Amino acid sequence: MYRSHSCGELRESHIGTTVTLSGWVSKTRDKGFVVWVDIRDRYGITQLVLDEDRTSKELLEQARNLGREFVIQIKGEVIERASKNANIPTGNIEVLVSELTILNESKTPPFTIENETDGGEDLRMKYRYLDIRRKPVQNNLIFRSKVTMEVRKFLSGEGFIEVETPYLIKSTPEGARDFVVPSRMNEGQFYALPQSPQTFKQLLMVGGLDKYFQIVKCFRDEDLRADRQPEFTQIDCEMAFVEQEDILNVFENLTKYLLKEVNGVEIDSFPRMTYDEAMSKYGNDKPDIRFGMEFGELNTVTQHKEFGVFNSAELVVCIAVPGAASYTRKELDALVNWVKRPQVGANGMVYVKCNEDGSFKSTVDKFYDQDDLAKWAAVTGAKPGDLICVLSGDANKTRTQLSALRMEMATRLGLRKPNEFAPLWVVDFPLLELDEETGHYHAMHHPFTSPKPGQLELLDTDPGAVRANAYDLVLNGNEIGGGSIRIHDKETQATMFKHLGFTPEEAKAQFGFLMDAFQYGAPPHGGLAFGLDRLVAILGGQETIRDFIAFPKNNSGRDVMIDAPATIDDEQLKELNLKLDIQE
């Protein structure tokens, strides 16, 4: 037996008992006549003591030679600690060591394995197996495990069946680029890793399973934007004989359950907002509603003056930032420069200070009088002490820019509190999006999303106006889940493929298996997939998903710990009938 107790288990009630502990040496302190050793495992830290009066010279010398991260086993008696440490649960006791065995020595680690480490992110990713020994990382992974267990518990209680679907599938055009895998046994042919189990879960509904779920890895070979991973985990769900309301109710209840069981928070309100309303009020389809600063459109009260910037703009829009009228000129200039950064892309910003005496001071006082500025304040609901920030230009770009500014100001003002949770359903998305470069439409979600009832005919006359029977669940400004009612008949699916630019032959080649299945009695069905990585991060009070993934990739999609991706040797290439032709 390597241990009778963990390193976080011993208390005053254990005083006088003989115990065996195993773990890593966290630190040693040698005072000459006494040596203290902190031994650590994932359960906690226990202080060991060896001294000249009660310990043999050989054992004391052995303890003095222990290095950081040595793996050791000790046997000894639990005694009361003379100098207690209230910061750790084991702080009232220590173990007087009578036997010490070195199970494995360790090189000096490249960074300190403590809560506050001196290792930068790149170094810690290279030695991730050491980083995982740190308590914050362990706590995140334990937290992820707890969330996953609760998800399984809830869905199983609702009658869902967990089914595994294949990882080696057929490459299909679903939006992002596929990761492909060459097949040795089928020369010149390739599998793809799934972007999602979309078609398989629909086939399970055709198979009559009724309620399916899976906690599943998904893969997308795309350029990594902020906080994205090439492989990610979904809570994938599908239900038969349901309408949108049925699905929303189930997953509202799952979210409420997780918030209560994991965070101890009770949420009753799940407001619903259309896509158009979200874009108009917040400039994006996943608004953070923990705070206000809704958009106010100023076209009617700013144009037709002598200010050409506004007169030529498709959209003039603003937010009222609470309490920010106190910003100095230097702070305001810095804010203008912030919106001009390439990441935001605005040409500039007009601002109005709402003074405490009810007057206004603006960068465009030359063009707008106090009555004009009072109308701006009325549109935004600005109060004395607030700062009105105005952007203008192309409607879509300007909304995106102001959305970024809104989130930045909320962060600066401390309005994005991680212990507050504000869920929101966004519904009635456009079915199709127009690619301005090609002039072609593509599916906003995926090709299997059903249009809203009664709108199928619009595909021929006004495809951009068709609304999808689709919905996203937003939590604290992050999309944590999304889904739709699916198309379940061959004719509608064929119509959808046609409007997405597929010829009948292309649709048959890519998705013939699904369309064939629809001929054998496919039930009405729909589903939703949660992004588990993002969900866990938000429930954990953070927004970086990498902190909750055991072995994440970096921003270039590389695993710097195992140095992947990597080349393969010529023999493997020959086996796979592949020849490299890398273009410079």
Residue 486 among known ligand-binding residues: yes
Residue 412 among known ligand-binding residues: no
Residue 62 among known ligand-binding residues: no
Cα gap 114→108, rounded to integer Å: 14
What DSSP letter does each residue of 199-246 carry, written as one string? HHHHHHHHTT--EEEEEEEEE--S---TT--SEEEEEEEEEES--HHH
Torsion (CA) 15, 17, 20, 23 in degrees, nearest 10: -10
Residue 133 among known ligand-binding residues: no
Residue 222 among known ligand-binding residues: yes
Cα gap 77→529, rounded to integer Å: 52
- The single-letter DSSP state of residue 353 is E
Place of tokens 């241990």: 3
CA contacts within 13 A on the Cβ side of 580: 10
Q: Could you tell me the two tokens for 264?
A: 């101890």
Write the CA distances from 32 to 46, 60, 63, integer angstroms.
21, 10, 12
Cα gap 113→32, rounded to integer Å: 25
Q: Which of 236, 226, 253, 243 is nearest to 200 (CA)?
A: 236
Please give the single-letter amino acid code of residue 384.
P
Residue 174 among known ligand-binding residues: yes
Residue 304 among known ligand-binding residues: no
Residue 533 among known ligand-binding residues: yes
User: Residue 460, exposed/middle/buried by CB under 10 A (0-12, 13-18, 19+)?
Assistant: exposed
Write the CA distances from 435 to 40, 65, 101, 464, 544, integer angstroms.
56, 67, 67, 11, 30
Under 8 Å between Cβ of 176 and 221: yes
Cα gap 535→330, rounded to integer Å: 38
Residue numbering of the annotated binding site: 174, 220-222, 229, 445, 479, 486, 531-534
Residue numbering of the annotated binding site for L-aspartate: 174, 220, 445, 486
Residue numbering of the annotated binding site for ATP: 220-222, 229, 479, 531-534
